[in-house]
Amino acid sequence: MKRLAWRSIVALSFALLTPLAKADLVFAVNEGVTYRVPAEQIAARYAAIAADLTKLLKQPVTILPVGDYPTLRAKLAERAYDLAMVHPAHLSILAIKNSGYKLMAVTKGYQQYSANFLVNADSPLKSVADLKGLRLGAPDEDSITSWMVRATLRDAMGDPKQVALTYTRYQDAVPFFVENNLTHAGATASGAVIKAWQAKGGKILFKSKQVPIKHLIASPKLSPEQISAVRDYLLALDTTDEGKKKLEPSKFTGFAAYDEAEMLKIGAWLGL
């Protein structure tokens, strides 16, 4: 009987202690929808960083690739992610504005992202305003590039609907529209696409305002001390050889601080 009672006590102790175990922190990573990045490659890119954050926060950190924008938008609204790397700036800004997320850093090399309006070499168009009543090709409707395109059109002519927008999932498909006269112009923010376009003799009609993309944000469920610790870690990564090696798989050179209030002003320009 004594042995049975002891076993009961042990079982009860485990039952009481189990809820105290810390659940994994979810680090969502989105690499955009208009670039061809297989989801299976993403977790490996951030494995070393996740391992460091696990030690720093004394809680397991799990990388969760999220390629679908509707899912990303909904889960951020629900505060389902503890940390998130968000390529589309508009979704990050919405999470900051409406769900209490905090901006920790932006990604170096992506602080001056702008939508370039492409036209053929012989195009008579001289300005964005000249697109009124014409057709424009653009990436996915909910991509940050297309949000920037619509804000630029609004600035130029009051109502972006005065231009007929044709959307395609991938940025590298935009030049096809222009080359084949399916649209009078195309818009892309892909450096590779822009470079290739110009190399073939194509012209850049206009460049939109610059927007920092690829934000690192933290859920309000994390304490201010945790957020500060993660921010300090991220900003220091590119200051040591060891940190640079951990950044290599992500193909990023590092992270930079950015004022949250200024980011919300960008959101206002985007129409959020």
Q: What is the pLDDT of residues 151-199, one digit of tens each?
A: 999 999 999 999 999 999 888 899 999 999 999 999 999 999 999 999 9
Percent of the chain topping pLDDT 70? 89
**Do 106 and 125 reside in the same domain of the chain?**
no
CA distance 26 to 91: 17
Shared-domain flag, residues 198 and 253: no
∠ CA 162-168-171, nearest 5°, is 105
Strands 61-65 and 25-30, by their bridges, are: parallel
* Average confidence score pLDDT of the chain: 91
Residue 44 has pLDDT above 60, yes or no: yes
171 and 141 in a common domain = yes
Query: Do 63 and 95 belong together in one domain?
Result: yes
199, 240: one domain:
no
Give the number of residues written for the chain.
272
Contact 240, 130 (CB under 8 A): no
- Is residue 73 in a domain? yes
Is a pLDDT exceeding 70 seen at residue 20? no
**pTM assigned to the model:** 0.87
Alpha-helix runs per DSSP H in the chain? 2-17, 42-45, 47-57, 69-77, 89-99, 144-157, 174-179, 191-199, 224-236, 241-247, 260-270
Query: Is 17 a domain residue?
Result: no
- Residue 103, pLDDT > 90, answer yes
Question: How far is CA 179 from each of CA 119, 146, 153, 183, 201, rounded to the nearest angstrom?
Answer: 9, 20, 22, 8, 11
Residue 12 domain-assigned (yes or no) = no
Contacts of 50 (CB under 8 A, 6+ apart): 27, 61, 62, 63
Question: Is residue 133 domain-shared with residue 203, that is, in the same domain?
Answer: yes
Contacts of 134 (CB under 8 A, 6+ apart): 125, 163, 164, 183, 184, 185
pLDDT per position as a tens digit, 82-96: 999 999 999 999 999
Which residues have C-beta within 8 Å of that of residue 30, sequence separation ≥ 6?
Answer: 65, 66, 67, 69, 72, 84, 85, 86, 87, 88, 91
User: Which residue(s) pair with 113 in the sheet?
Assistant: 211
Structurally, the chain folds into a number of domains equal to: 2
Say if 61 falls within a structural domain: yes
Residue 39's pLDDT is what? 66
Task: Match 């370039």 to its residue by tokens.
Answer: 116
**How far, in Å, are 10, 16, 82, 97, 138 from residue 21 at the CA level?**
17, 10, 17, 32, 48
C-alpha to C-alpha distances, 126 to 151, 164, 179, nearest whole angstrom: 19, 18, 18
CB 59 within 8 Å of CB 24: yes
* Claim to verify: residue 221 and residue 96 sit in the same structural domain: yes
Residue span of the structural domain in which 80 resides? 23-111+212-270
Task: Name the domain boundary from 188, 207, 226.
Answer: 207
| Residue 16: pLDDT over 60 | no
Q: What is the CATH number of the domain that holds 180?
A: 3.40.190.10
- CA 199, CA 22: separation in Å to the nearest integer? 54
Closest CA to 105 of 30, 217, 26: 217
Final residue belonging to a domain, choices 191, 207, 223: 207
243 assigned to some structural domain: yes
Query: Among 161, 177, 207, which residue terminates a domain?
Result: 207
Please write the tens of the pLDDT for every residue from 193-217. 999 999 999 999 999 999 999 999 9
